[in-house]
Amino acid sequence: MFDYPKTRKDTIVDTYFSEKVADPYRWLEDDLSDETAQWVEAQNAVTFGCLHNIPFRHAIRERLEAANNYVKESAPFDRGDYTYFYRNDGLQNQSVVYRTSGEGADAEVFLDPNSWSEEGTTSLDQLRFSRDDKFIAYSTSEGGSDWRTIYVMDAKTGELLTDKIENVKFSGIEWRGSEGFYYSTYDKPEGSELSARTEHHKLYFHTLGTAQTDDVLVFGGDDDPQFRYVGGYTTEDDRYLVISGANATSGNMLYVQDLKGSGERVCLTDDDSADSDVIDHHDGKLLIYTNWHAPMGRIVAVDVANPQQTNWEDLIAETEHELSISTGSGYLFASYLVDVQTQVKQYRLSGEKVRDVVLPGVGTASGFSGREKDKTLYFTFTNYTTAADTYRFDPVTGETALYRQSACTIDSEKLESRQVFYTSKDGTKVPMTICYRKGIELDGSHPTILYGYGGFNISLEPAFNPSIAAWIEMGGIYAVANLRGGGEYGKAWHQAGTQLQKQNVFDDFISAAEFLIAESYTSPEKLAIRGGSNGGLLVGACMTQRPDLFKVALPAVGVLDMLRYHTFTSGEGWKYDYGTSAQSEEMFQYLLGYSPVHNVKEGVVYPSTLVTTADHDDRVVPAHSYKFIAELQAKHGGENPVLIRIDVNAGHGAGMPMHKVLDLGADVYAFCLDQMGVEPEL
Active-site positions read: 533, 652
How far apart (Å, rounded) are the C-alpha atoms in residues 152 and 146? Answer: 19
CA distances, 174 to each of 45, 150, 171, 181, 269 (Å): 45, 12, 9, 5, 22
H-helix or E-strand spanning residue 99: strand 96-100
3-state secondary structure of 413: helix
The answer to whether residues 268 and 312 touch, using CB atoms and an 8 Å cutoff, is no
The answer to whether residues 572 and 566 touch, using CB atoms and an 8 Å cutoff, is yes
Other Cβ atoms within 10 Å of 596 Cβ, number: 28
| Per-position DSSP letters for 541-560, written without gaps between them | HHHHH-TTS-SEEEEES---
367 — alpha (psi -120 to 50), left (phi > 0) or beta? left
Other Cβ atoms within 10 Å of 354 Cβ, number: 15
The answer to whether residues 386 and 361 touch, using CB atoms and an 8 Å cutoff, is yes
Burial of 635 (0-12, 13-18, 19+ CB in 10 A): middle
How far, rounded to the nearest angstrom, does the alpha carbon of residue 447 sit from its chain's CA centroid?
A: 26
H-helix or E-strand spanning residue 58: helix 57-68
Nearest residue to 454 via CA among 533, 572, 385, 528: 533
Question: Would strands 285-290 and 276-282 be described as parallel, antiparallel, or unpaired?
Answer: antiparallel
Of the chain, the end-to-end C-alpha distance in Å amounts to 30
CA distances, 35 to each of 143, 177, 243 (Å): 22, 51, 44
CA distances, 665 to each of 185, 517, 658 (Å): 33, 25, 10
How far apart (Å, rounded) are the C-alpha atoms in residues 59 and 184? Answer: 45
The answer to whether residues 402 and 478 touch, using CB atoms and an 8 Å cutoff, is no
How far apart (Å, rounded) are the C-alpha atoms in residues 226 and 201? Answer: 8
Beta bridge partners of 448: 477, 527
Backbone angles phi, psi at 490, to 5 degrees: 85, -170
Task: Give the count of alpha carbons within 13 A of 67, CB side only.
Answer: 26
Nearest residue to 182 via CA among 202, 162, 163: 202
Q: What is the CA radius of gyration of the chain?
A: 25
CA distances, 208 to each of 124, 178, 334, 355 (Å): 21, 8, 36, 43
DSSP state of 666: H
Q: What share of the chain is helix, strand, coil (3-state, %, to 5)?
A: 20, 35, 45
How far apart (Å, rounded) are the C-alpha atoms in residues 218 and 202? Answer: 8
How far apart (Å, rounded) are the C-alpha atoms in residues 549 and 513? Answer: 8
CA 104, 108, 111, 117 torsion-angle sign = positive
The answer to whether residues 595 and 23 touch, using CB atoms and an 8 Å cutoff, is no
